[in-house]
Amino acid sequence: MISMKRIVLPVDLSERSKVAAGEARSLAKLFGAEVVVVYVLAPIPIYGGGLEMAPPVNWYELQRPAVLGRLAPFVAAELADVAVKTVVREGDAANEIVAVANEERADLIVMATHGYGGFRRFLLGSVAAKVLSDAAVPVLTSAHLDEGRGQREIQSVLLAVDVDPRAPLLMKAAAEVANLFGAKLHIVHASPDDAAGAGRFVDPTWRVEIAKRRDALLREDMAAAGVTASVHVVAGEVAKVVRQVAGEVGADIVVLGRTTESGVLGRLRSNSYAIVRDSPCAVLSI
């Protein structure tokens, strides 16, 4: 059974932060959770005589009142009706976000990714990428403001999964998310497609046979997990397949396992950042 007591929300007070805040607020109200708002002051290098020096010892303390003054109206406007704790830290943003999540024993981190307009498909902010890599708790990356569909009821959940030993556990987790919102669960798997390489010299029916086998294995995992879902096995590049199927099923959230081992059956792990970057909706990385 899903439960949440504390949600960490890193913000930079941008429009993208407002989108993430809306999602954090909705979840906090649903679970009665506290939102821990985190603002990180980046180190400010000071140069003297051609050398980089540390800022004055009290520089951060001098900035803290101004930061809190900017955070107060943001919290009042974007996180009304939920319990909020505000934390201001200094240092590397990703490291501090992960540290706060650990210290607060957070159940979830909700954050925006980086990128603007059509360039979004080619960019994933270094902070978001590092948090996804280092965080021990699930991370919900919000849909971008320019392409996101805003706050809406979750009716369709899409699980992107590999054919590997973790699949049944991920299926159970995704089913819990779908059941929580009364949504329909879909499962997508990108099977190999080497049409541009050596595969172009092989009978094209090999892709069909591989897809059939992968479909059968996924259905075995579903049976073992006691999960019911529609299965979509599509040959192609992982991130593109996930994005395609997300659009076809009208996914409101993509669930992704980000700790799968790399290798022949670990294609999803090596493509996890691309999935987050390309997704047309929010992604829950667990």
Domain C-terminal end among 111, 130, 146? 146
> Containing domain of residue 257, as a range?
152-286
pLDDT at 112: 85
Nearest CA-CA partner of 157 in 141, 173, 136, 133: 173
Same domain, 14 and 117: yes
> Six-digit token pair at 51?
């050398």
Same domain, 160 and 48: no
pLDDT at 153: 81
pLDDT at 37: 97
Strand, coil or helix: what is 271? coil
Same domain, 26 and 121: yes
Same domain, 4 and 128: yes
Same domain, 170 and 52: no
pTM score of the predicted model: 0.83
What residues are paired with 111 via a beta bridge? Answer: 141
Same domain, 100 and 199: no
Domain C-terminal end among 116, 146, 176? 146
Same domain, 179 and 241: yes
> Six-digit token pair at 57?
């010892």
Domain C-terminal end among 96, 118, 146? 146
Same domain, 4 and 140: yes
Same domain, 79 and 207: no
Same domain, 14 and 139: yes
What lies within 8 Å, CB to CB, of 235 at 6+ separation is 190, 191, 192, 193, 207, 210, 211, 241
Q: How far apart are CA 115 and CA 220, in angstroms?
A: 39
Same domain, 134 and 243: no
CATH of the domain at 168: 3.40.50.620
Same domain, 16 and 142: yes
Consecutive sets of 10 residues in the chain, 286 residues long: mean pLDDT of each? 90 86 94 96 62 60 83 94 94 93 97 56 65 91 54 86 91 95 96 58 68 93 96 91 96 83 46 85 91
Contact 128, 111 (CB under 8 A): yes
Chain centre distance of CA 85 = 22
Domain count, the chain: 2
